[in-house]
Amino acid sequence: MNTIKGPAIFLAQFIGDTAPFNDLKSICRWAAGLGYKGVQLPTNDLRFIDVQKAADSKTYADEIKGIVAEAGLEITELSTHLQGQLVAVNPAYDTLFDAFAPDAYKNNPAKRQEWAVSQVKAAAKASQNLGLNASVTFSGALIWHMVYPWPQRPAGLVETAFAELAKRWEPILNYYDEHGIDLCYEIHPGEDLHDGVSYERFLENVNNHKRACLLYDPSHFVLQAMDYLEYIDIYHERIKMFHVKDAEFNPTGRQGVYGGYSNWVERAGRFRSLGDGQVDFKSVFSKLTQYDYKGWAVLEWECALKHPEDGAREGVQFIKDHIIRVTDKAFDDFAASGSDEAFNKSLIGL
């Protein structure tokens, strides 16, 4: 077994325009000051990393790695959540998702997708240059709006959509394989890959590609009323990344999973800071340790109520308290009777 690495923190929700959240060196010093050991870097903000430059230049990648190391931290993984979203966009969402792309590619879905694919691919080479072994992304969504349809879905629509999704992603997965990097999809409502069944549909269409891996985030399964512990039992071989994020689901006579268009504070299901929600993290960490998860435990702060800096400060200790230092001996070794092959044979009458 392996001791999970951490605590680490995903920087996306903390980036801002004021110090210490507006440049890589300052935010890393802030995170290290709280006690974090690693940072997961989003790649959509050039103030923190230029992912294409990190792919093209080992020297630049080493500079980024050096800035993080100077603060006493490691880079855990790169994130292309926003770029991955743009690999597959239903036309109904074109205008909204244009916000994720540079101005040069807005109002041009084909060019926007081409740019997004190049960015996700760049993260593979950049990860290699940084000495990493996994990167996280979103799948995008061609038929999310059809998840609970009325009128009913036309026959074959799901099959057509997943064939197209695989057609877009399989060349990217092959590129990741060439660079020795696992591409971890964050299974997330709003994406075509939002639960185990949809992930399995995708796997089937990409021929069970060995690089089509998973980021495990139990909060998204709480909000879908899924068994987030059994999920680990089913998919542990594919889980290469871990977001430590809490959530709560309190359905009422007025609303449930869909939330009634309420804002986050008023929803039956909402994300919470670590320890304030319903996720059984003792069991989560136990199962991941049992299955020899070798990656990082990365805080992703999202909370409808608590200030992010409080969530980050509390989260570092929460993760420390839940990481299991694995034992190097069996608890009953003290009662061992000793053994050799002859003795073992004698015990079974040989």
Number of domains making up the chain: 1
Q: Is 131 exposed, middle or buried (0-12, 13-18, 19+ CB in 10 A)?
A: exposed
Segments forming the whole domain that contains residue 167: 5-347
Model pTM?
A: 0.95
pLDDT attached to residue 331: 73
**CA separation for the pair 124, 176 (Å, rounded):** 5
Count CB atoms within 10 A of the CB of residue 208: 10
Domain of 146, CATH number, reads 3.20.20.150
pLDDT of the residue at 335 = 64
pLDDT of the residue at 237: 98
* pLDDT tens for each residue of 215-268: 999 999 999 999 999 999 999 999 999 999 999 999 999 999 999 999 999 999
pLDDT value of position 282: 98
Q: Which of 6-10, 149-153, 175-179, 306-310 has the lowest mean pLDDT?
A: 149-153
Mean pLDDT on 155-162: 98
Helix, strand, coil in percent for the chain, rounding step 5: 45, 15, 40
Nearest to 242 by CA among 273, 214, 279: 214
How far apart are alpha carbons 141 and 243 in whole angstroms?
21
